[in-house]
Structure 1
Amino acid sequence: MEGGSKATLKAVALITGDTNVRGFIHFTQIPNGITHVQGKITGLSPGLHGFHIHALGDTTNGCNSTGPHFNPLKKDHGAPSDGERHAGDLGNIIAGPDGVAEVSIKDWQIPLSGQHSILGRAVVVHADPDDLGKGGHELSKTTGNAGARVGCGRMYTKRIRIGNCMF
């Protein structure tokens, strides 16, 4: 199995953006290959936001340098439940009226080890809802027409300290 390991693997990404978007995302891959994605992002506008793994972990130019969605099998964009989708297509997260999104996703196409590992890549939050490849827009099959990148962070395997906080 791709990414299958006998040990539980972990990674973390700290999310930052040009505005007040901040957060953390923890990735835990259990031995059967399923990766649990959990965390919290604040500073979002209320509603749905596209949520993806992008191909690059480069954030030197903010979220714009993270490249396209992670897509090692060269498929069209789709919903997390679709057979035809980018590996990095994680659908939408929902921010409440307070601008906070609690993230809890389980996915088998984003391993933390192996040929298609997501380690070192970036997780990106978009301004708009992801249409899951079904919106009919010219960008639906590539980006889900999810709009601007409002927050992102590179995935690390080590714990990260910022001030008095350990992630």
Structure 2
Amino acid sequence: MTIPPFETTFAVPMTCESCIKDISGSLYKLNGINKVTASLQDQLVSIEGTASPSAIVAAIQDTGRDAILRGSGRSNSAAVCILETHSLQVQNKVRGLVRMVQVAQDVTIVDLSIKGLSPGTYHATVRERGDISQGPESTGPIWEGLKTQEGKLGRGVFGTVEVGKGGVGSVFLDRPIQIWEMIGRSIVVARQQDGKFDKNDADTLVGVIARSAGVWDNNKTVCSCSGKTVWQEREEQVGRGML
């Protein structure tokens, strides 16, 4: 399936036109970048194309700058899921992030990144319920998990992600899903696709799918709740293990 282009915006610290040139040069080296625009005044970089948000962040970080995703797609067309382990032996619970953007009527792209796991193959599935109080055990069965008559994967089966020796893995794929159908459900990433999970397994991750901002929906630089800047919040998130 050919993924149509979509837009993402990132907050990036920039001081001059040379910053924009460095960032643009790094981004245009990626496959699937159609257009890059930046605003020094707003400290925002907008990218149009089909490259994954995680690849865009990595390209910006290669210039020595950090990047915070501020929005993807149109309003009400994006979602996010923070993946955590319930293991009591792990200090930093956050071990993964799933970004989802609906780019067509029945096409949603999924950008999944995980780190700190043991090497191997992991299965990512959307579950019927968003109850993660007991880890994966309380999330219910796979959402529409049975194969269709055409032999295709059920919509709740995202697929597999390979984790290398460094404990890092990522996958960028598309599924025939609309964003609104998944809000409030959960995602499980584990060595097994289904069955009885062990919530104390440090390599089993779970999180609830929540709506996230579309492009230009979120231009705040200071949180109204905490009074912290987006970069202070970012520092805390990285400390918790956020990608």
TM-score (norm 2): 0.49
Whichever structure has more helix as a proportion of its residues is 2
**Which of residues 212, 218, 222 in structure 2 aligns to 1:158?**
212
Corresponding residue for residue 90 of structure 1: 158
Q: Does 1:51 align with 2:124?
A: yes
- The percentage of aligned residue pairs carrying the same residue is 24
Corresponding residue for residue 112 of structure 1: 179
Contact 2:124 2:187 in 1 (8 A): yes
Contact 1:42 1:101 in 2 (8 A): yes
Corresponding residue for residue 28 of structure 1: 101
1:42-81 equivalence runs, <5 A: 42-71=115-144, 76-77=146-147
TM-score (norm 1): 0.69
Shift of 1:146: 9.1
Shift of 1:77: 5.0
2-side partners of 1:89 and 1:17: how far apart? 20
Q: Does 1:121 align with 2:194?
A: no
Alpha-carbon spacing, 1:105–1:148, altered in 2? closer, same or farther (3 Å)? farther
Shift of 1:32: 3.4
Partner AA of 2:185 in structure 1: R
Partner AA of 2:178 in structure 1: P
Corresponding residue for residue 37 of structure 1: 110
Note the residue ranges of structure 1 that are not aligned, 5 or more in a row: 1-6, 131-142
Contact 2:129 2:184 in 1 (8 A): yes
Runs of 4 or more consecutive aligned structure 1 residues displaced over 2 Å after TM superposition: 18-21, 75-78, 145-149
Alpha-carbon spacing, 1:146–1:38, altered in 2? closer, same or farther (3 Å)? farther
Superposed CA RMSD in Å reads 2.9
Report the structure number with the largest CA radius of gyration: 2
Alpha-carbon spacing, 1:94–1:82, altered in 2? closer, same or farther (3 Å)? farther
Tell me the SS of whatever aligns to 2:82.
strand
Alpha-carbon spacing, 1:148–1:103, altered in 2? closer, same or farther (3 Å)? farther
Contact 2:122 2:189 in 1 (8 A): yes
Q: How many residues align?
A: 136
Alpha-carbon spacing, 1:146–1:61, altered in 2? closer, same or farther (3 Å)? closer
2-side partners of 1:155 and 1:32: how far apart? 19
Residue-by-residue CA offset, 1:95-142 (whole Å, 9 max, x unaligned):
11111111211111x3213xxx111101110124x5xxxxxxxxxxxx
Corresponding residue for residue 134 of structure 1: none
2-side partners of 1:51 and 1:125: how far apart? 4
